Amino acid sequence: MDRKRQAGPLRSGDDMSSAIVGVGETPAAKVSEENLESLIVRACREALDDAGLRPSDVDGIVIEGAVMPKEFPADRCEEVLGLHNVELQLGVSKSGAGVVGSLGVAAEAIRARRAEVVLSYFGVDWGTQRRTGRGAGPANARVGEPRIEAFERAFGYWPQVVWFGGLAQRYLETFGRPESDFASWVVANRENAATHEHALEREPLTESDYMDSPYVAAPLRRADCSLLNDGAGAMVVTSLDRAADCRRTPVGIAGVGTGHNETLGRSSIVLDSEILHTGAATATQVAMRSAGIGLDDVGFAEIYDCFTIAAILQAEDMGLFEPGTAGQMAGKGVTRFDGALPINTHGGLLSNSFIVGMGHVIEGVRQVRCERGDGQVTRSSVGLIAGYGGAESSTAVLVAI
Amino acid sequence: MPRTDTADLASAENELATLAEVVASEIALDWTPAAGFWEGCREHELRVPICNECGRVAWYPRVACGHCLSEHFTWEATDSSPRLYTWTTVMFQFIEALKEHLPYASGLVDIGIDSPDVNVRLSFILPTSYQLVIGMEMTPVFIDVGQVTVPMFVPTGQP
């Protein structure tokens, strides 16, 4: 396979231009009493309040480009929030890669003076959808696509958790590792979640509890799967100049990179020459080069963890751990909020809530702003935020300024 | 685990045939770009589309070649030795038609085509009685179910 994974076009350049100045998040709920619109409005209002900005200040909306435009498009957000001054409206990539990639696009738009205050949001009511039998969000993804209907679903190789079960099995066999590696990751993740006031799963989980969790697509167990819930998050990005006038300490967007798998589309985890590789390697290299930092500078990371194996593969691709060792490192406490390299300090999608990467960005901002209380990491001035979207990955470098 | 017991042998073959029936009922055969594949299966061959313009293998089947955008392909039989690429044991009902057959093993075989830029892999389903190890040789088994011939793969040497 001679085709190289390409660095994507999204990067905020060598000189930092923008910062996240506000974040907002509804407490996640397995099933919320509020509808999606209400959740998103609340998250956006909280983010604007956090920044000390008003709806009339917002002149750009940049959101994840696959799920959000269907569930809650930007023009609806403009309408319900009264964003009369929006001139730039963009959807970016897909899923976690889109949420994190939005930071790069927002930063570029601000640098190019196409916008000055950019709002980004993500929200889902997948908990409600599942409860009311309207499907279960991502679990029914891609039904009806001809490649999948002809070659995968009919043979039982579907849905997402099954594909990730295949990744997990190949990982364990390739590196000769035991399932307890996954347990170690999840146990540490749950310890992190316990420090977060909004995490849906805060009860301690032991390795033995993990092993009692039923298999869904072995070796993946229920405890390896993301939550499915209702919730929303939002963030406000603006220029460094404007950021100086905002209410809170700005968190710099020092670099954003994207990386693609060889095979675009969902089939990358079926047809890539090595399905254990994600776009996170290239995305992270580009982001760090852009930010002018190295791995030694990284104090913590928030990594999209739709399944345990997804987080492990990205963490290794990002260079945070040697291939095949992430679980062992988690078992030594490295990924705990008080460990040597804290990862998913809010509990991620596995234990906090599934708002598709927005929770990771918000947690990164709160860590850099040193407001995470019991879950505060020690080296908080540089964090990596990795978003995964199947065939595409994005990584952002957030820094204290 | 080598099988010697004839009852087990018969049971494994029955399970395989039953699963093939379910697969046959679920396959979307109406996707035109893949028609040549199913025609090949009816003749008990695994065929892949070769682009008439640039000679490259296209996989999955495509409307247009991913290199030259030609819409013309010739289907050729593969001369390969499929190997197990990965697998998982599915314990939970995701697919209505398979609910009576849980748990089952499902995964990917790599057909082993020597192409610089395409990996030809196919999904498979098996009863959990088979012993699977990534990299093992897999034998194609074509099971005729009415008008459809379902390509299945079993570990070579296991029934």
Q: Is A169 on the interface with B (CB under 8 A)?
A: yes
Average pLDDT, chain A: 93
pLDDT at B4: 47
**How much of chain A, in percent, has pLDDT values that exceed 70?**
94
- Residue A133 φ/ψ, nearest 5 degrees: 70, 20
- CA-CA distance, A361 to A303, in Å (whole number)? 9
Q: Measuring CA to CA, how many Å separate A253 from each of A15, A18, A260, B1?
A: 10, 6, 21, 55
Sign of the dihedral defined by the CA atoms of residues B95, B99, B101, B102, in that order? positive
Provide, rounded to the nearest whole percent, the portion of chain A with pLDDT above 90. 88
Residue in A6, A143, A152, A155 to test binding to B, most B beta-carbons within 10 Å: A155
| Residue A267 contacts B, CB cutoff 8 Å | yes
B70 vs A131, which has greater pLDDT? Answer: B70
CB contact under 8 A, B23 and A154: yes
Distance CA A174, CA A90 (A): 40
Query: Please, which pLDDT band fits residue A58 given cuts at 50, 70 and 90?
Result: very high
Give the C-alpha separation, A311 to A335, whole Å.
12
Q: Is A166 on the interface with B (CB under 8 A)?
A: yes
A188: left (phi over 0), alpha (psi -120 to 50) or beta: alpha
* pLDDT of amino acid A291: 96
Domains located in chain A, CATH noted: 18-131+229-243 (3.40.47.10)
Nearest to B123 among A157, A214, A272 (CB): A157
Model pLDDT, residue A257: 97
pLDDT of residue B116: 81
Which pTM was predicted? 0.95
Neighbours of A174 (CB within 10 A): 15
A150/B contact by beta carbon, under 8 A: yes
B contacts of A147 (beta carbons < 8 Å): 31, 60
Copy the structure tokens of residue A328. 């062992």
Is the per-residue pLDDT at A1 higher than 80?
A: no
**Chain A: closest CA distance from residue B128 (Å):** 12
Which of these ranges, A259-273, B117-131, B143-157, has the smallest mean pLDDT? A259-273
ipTM, two decimals, is: 0.94
Task: Say whether A169 and B104 touch across the interface (CB within 8 A).
Answer: no
Chain B touched by A374 (CB under 8 Å): no
Question: What's the mean pLDDT in A351-379?
Answer: 97
At residue B51, the pLDDT reads 96
Contacts of A174 in chain B (CB under 8 A): 134
Q: Considering only CB atoms, which residues of chain B are within 8 Å of chain A?
A: 23, 26-29, 31, 33-34, 59-60, 85-92, 94-95, 98, 104, 106-108, 116-119, 121-125, 133-134
**Confidence bin at B13 (pLDDT 50/70/90):** confident
A145 touches chain B (CB under 8 A): no
Of A156, A270, A271, which is closest to B125 when you measure between CB atoms?
A156
Question: What tokens appear for A220 in the block?
Answer: 């993946």
